[in-house]
């Protein structure tokens, strides 16, 4: 077996085996009576999922939809702002400072305000998801659009390339590692924003289930919703990590080595 | 479409902490169309600055540079300048063929600048057949630099500027690359100007060697090379080659150390 595929297999199998072992251990400890009532056995959490798959599925769809809508808007706005900053250097500090200012608003405080203005519906919750996630995309794009090498820019200059050509053939490809870093970081934040918005009063969503489980002291349901949130965040990150692998096929000096 | 090069009293100075640093002081040189010139001098003599001014990467502070009857800025906008950087400066996401085609992408394939040779023919010219679809990271330093030379020739430049293109290569590869470069230059008929640190390389390659000296940088001596074309490695053992190397070296070091000169003569 070639060494790279063995490495890939190991990097996949090891975590899976680790998680499985941990689950078995917790299951055993619970059944042997070593664990407090606040920690359910994995099998009990699984049963909680099987008890109401349709309800949980609908809640997951709601939370995901809000996160994805917000994330999409955040991506468009942040990339657009960074693009304008790349074209007009004088606007760069203003865009960055506005970004910092917006991102320092506590989401939990912004939610009631937005609910007041826009109604307590999907629009508000999507916007909160967007607010929660745009900043890493903005920072990644603003850094990335300036990450080209001076040498390369001089080459395009000697060939008297148009600004559009410079952007497409140099600035954009050079920025990809930074763009993906921002997009990867932002995906879990969008899930967080979507959940946070639901906590202040929604009628459907994982956050709603989480809250009601908490108030009825339904330990299994709390754990189930927490685990589903983690899985959703992780999936958001993983999707972009996969896309990055396909898109950045060259050895990039700025890529994080693992 | 080759053009002659005239540099008349070109100067470049920078402001640094309130004081003026003169990088280049009233440099003069001229090169006929189709000629091969070499700029040689120690670090800090302004040879790279001069080359970058000719390429319109940086403007002269005073003086005139003309390519044919055009200013460098006009020549650059007309895509008339080919430039080979010290490092290969290849785009890491483009294959060898796509890197060589980059100038075509920039000026458009319909431009009258497009050379009669296709990227694939240029790949053959620089001996990289079989590597068309490789990424730069998978090539050696010498191969990367050959890609960048092919890229400089995919448009028909009126002038080809080379900034120590083989400086990072070992002596053997470098010698081979120099021969290749001379062959390519002879075939393309473009005017060429090469910046180098090596006396032997300057004399071997050029019709005219411009010796530069530092603080402030200036062209202090112009030496014509009496060797015939095409150049061969055997010429490096000829009396004419030695005499020219000596004249260039005298220009670089003055008569400051005869023993040193003898030592250097044994090196070249």
**Over the stretch B55-88, which tens digit does the pLDDT of each residue have?**
999 999 999 999 988 999 999 998 889 899 988 8
B170: left (phi over 0), alpha (psi -120 to 50) or beta: beta
A133 CB-contact burial (10 Å; exposed 0-12 / middle 13-18 / buried 19+)? buried
Interface check for B152 against chain A (CB to CB < 8 A): the answer is: no
- Please tell me the predicted confidence (pLDDT) of residue B205: 95
Identify all chain B residues contacting A250, using CB atoms and an 8 Å cutoff: 92-93, 135, 137
**For range B167-195, the mean pLDDT:** 85
- Please tell me the predicted confidence (pLDDT) of residue A257: 46
Which pTM was predicted?
A: 0.83
Tens digit of pLDDT per residue, chain A (258 long)?
556 677 778 888 888 999 999 999 999 999 999 989 889 999 999 999 999 899 999 999 999 999 999 999 999 999 999 999 988 889 999 999 999 999 888 888 888 888 889 888 889 999 999 999 999 999 999 999 999 999 999 999 999 999 999 999 999 999 999 999 999 999 999 999 999 999 887 889 999 999 999 999 999 999 999 999 999 999 999 999 999 999 999 887 655 444
Identify all chain B residues contacting A157, using CB atoms and an 8 Å cutoff: 57, 76
Angle at B191 between CA B220 and CA B189, to 5 degrees: 145
Beta-strand relationship, B159-163 and B81-84: parallel
Interface check for B64 against chain A (CB to CB < 8 A): the answer is: no
- Please tell me the predicted confidence (pLDDT) of residue A258: 44
Identify all chain B residues contacting A159, using CB atoms and an 8 Å cutoff: 79, 102-103, 106-107, 155
Give the whole-angstrom CA distance, residue B62 versus residue B69. 18
pLDDT at B41 over 70: yes
Distance from chain centroid for Cα A218: 28
CA distance to partner chain B, nearest, from residue A137 (Å): 22
CA distance to partner chain A, nearest, from residue B198 (Å): 23
Give the whole-angstrom CA distance, residue B177 versus residue B167. 11
Strand segments (E) across chain B: 5-16, 19-31, 36-40, 62-67, 81-84, 159-163, 191-196, 208-213, 218-224
Angle at B173 between CA B252 and CA B123, to 5 degrees: 120
Q: Tell if the CB–CB gap between B91 and A170 is shorter than 8 Å.
A: yes
pLDDT at B267 over 80: no
- CB A176, CB A136: distance < 8 Å: no
pLDDT at B262 over 70: no
**For range B200-208, the mean pLDDT:** 94
Identify all chain A residues contacting B57, using CB atoms and an 8 Å cutoff: 154, 157-158
Report which of A152, A156, A147 is spatially closest to residue A179, judged by C-alpha positions. A147
Q: For B157, name the nearest residue in chain A, comparing CA atoms only.
A: A159
Buried b / exposed e over B21-46, threshold 16 CB at 10 Å, is: ebbbbebebebebbbbbbbbbeeebb
pLDDT at B261 over 80: no
Q: Range with the lowest mean pLDDT among A116-130, A165-179, B172-186, B249-263? A: B249-263
Interface check for A163 against chain B (CB to CB < 8 A): the answer is: no
Q: Tell if the CB–CB gap between A251 and B105 is shorter than 8 Å.
A: no
pLDDT band for position B265 (cuts 50, 70, 90): low
Q: For A249, name the nearest residue in chain B, comparing CA atoms only.
A: B93
- Please tell me the predicted confidence (pLDDT) of residue A92: 93
ipTM: 0.85
> Inter-axis angle of helices A107-118 and A172-199, to 10 degrees?
80
Interface check for B93 against chain A (CB to CB < 8 A): the answer is: yes
Give how far Cα B45 sits from Cα of B31, B56, B85, B105, B167, Å: 20, 19, 18, 36, 17
pLDDT at B257 over 50: no
pLDDT band for position B266 (cuts 50, 70, 90): low
Angle at B178 between CA B174 and CA B179, to 5 degrees: 120
Report which of A75, A77, A73 is spatially closest to residue A95, judged by C-alpha positions. A77
Give the whole-angstrom CA distance, residue A65 versus residue B206. 68
Give the whole-angstrom CA distance, residue B24 versus residue B18. 18
Identify all chain B residues contacting A151, using CB atoms and an 8 Å cutoff: 85, 87, 89
- Please tell me the predicted confidence (pLDDT) of residue B17: 82
Nearest-CB residue to B85 (from A151, A169, A170) = A151
Interface check for A252 against chain B (CB to CB < 8 A): the answer is: yes
């Amino acid at each position: 077996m070639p060494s790279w595929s063995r490495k890939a297999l190991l990097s996949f199998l090891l975590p899976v085996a680790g998680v499985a072992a941990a689950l078995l251990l917790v299951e055993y400890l619970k059944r042997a009576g070593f664990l407090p009532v606040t920690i359910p056995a994995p099998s009990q959490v699984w049963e909680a999922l099987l008890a109401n798959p349709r309800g949980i599925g609908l809640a997951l769809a709601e939370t995901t939809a809000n996160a994805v809508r917000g994330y999409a808007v955040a991506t468009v706005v942040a990339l657009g702002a960074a693009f304008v900053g790349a074209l007009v250097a004088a606007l760069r500090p203003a865009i960055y400072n506005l970004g910092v200012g917006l991102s320092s608003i506590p989401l939990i405080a912004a939610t009631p305000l937005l609910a007041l203005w826009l109604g307590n519906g999907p629009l508000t919750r999507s916007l909160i998801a967007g607010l929660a996630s745009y900043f890493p995309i903005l920072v990644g794009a603003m850094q990335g659009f300036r990450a080209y090498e001076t040498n390369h820019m001089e080459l395009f200059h000697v060939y008297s390339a148009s600004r559009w050509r410079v952007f497409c053939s140099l600035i954009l490809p050079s920025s990809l590692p930074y763009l993906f870093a921002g997009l990867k970081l932002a995906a879990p934040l969008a899930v967080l924003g979507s959940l946070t918005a639901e906590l202040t009063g929604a009628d459907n969503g994982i956050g709603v289930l989480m809250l009601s489980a908490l108030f009825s002291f339904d330990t299994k349901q709390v754990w189930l919703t927490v685990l589903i949130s983690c899985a959703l965040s992780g999936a958001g990150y993983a999707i972009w990590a996969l896309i990055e692998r396909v898109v950045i096929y060259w050895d990039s000096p700025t890529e994080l080595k693992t | 479409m080759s053009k002659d090069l005239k540099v008349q009293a070109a100067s470049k100075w920078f402001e640094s902490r309130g004081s003026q640093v003169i990088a280049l002081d009233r440099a003069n040189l001229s090169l006929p169309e189709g000629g091969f010139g070499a700029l040689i001098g120690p670090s800090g003599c302004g040879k790279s600055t001069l080359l970058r001014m000719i390429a319109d990467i940086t403007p002269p502070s005073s003086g005139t540079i003309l390519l044919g009857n055009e200013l460098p800025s006009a020549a650059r906008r007309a895509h008339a300048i080919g430039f080979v950087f010290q490092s290969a400066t290849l785009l890491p996401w483009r294959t060898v063929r796509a890197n060589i085609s980059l100038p075509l992408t920039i000026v458009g394939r319909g431009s009258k600048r497009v050379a009669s040779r296709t990227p694939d023919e240029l790949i053959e010219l620089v001996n990289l057949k079989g590597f068309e679809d490789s990424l730069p990271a998978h090539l050696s330093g010498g191969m990367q630099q050959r890609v960048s030379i092919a890229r400089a020739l995919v448009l028909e430049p009126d002038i080809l500027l080379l900034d120590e293109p083989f400086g990072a290569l070992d002596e053997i590869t470098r010698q081979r690359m120099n021969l290749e470069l001379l062959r390519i230059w002879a075939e393309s008929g473009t005017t060429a100007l090469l910046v180098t640190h090596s006396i032997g390389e300057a004399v071997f390659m050029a019709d005219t060697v411009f010796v530069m000296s530092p603080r402030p940088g200036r062209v202090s001596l112009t030496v014509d090379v009496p060797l015939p074309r095409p150049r061969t490695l055997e010429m490096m053992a000829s009396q004419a080659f030695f005499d020219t190397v000596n004249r260039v070296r005298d220009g670089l070091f003055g008569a400051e150390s005869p023993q040193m000169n003898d030592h250097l003569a044994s090196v070249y």
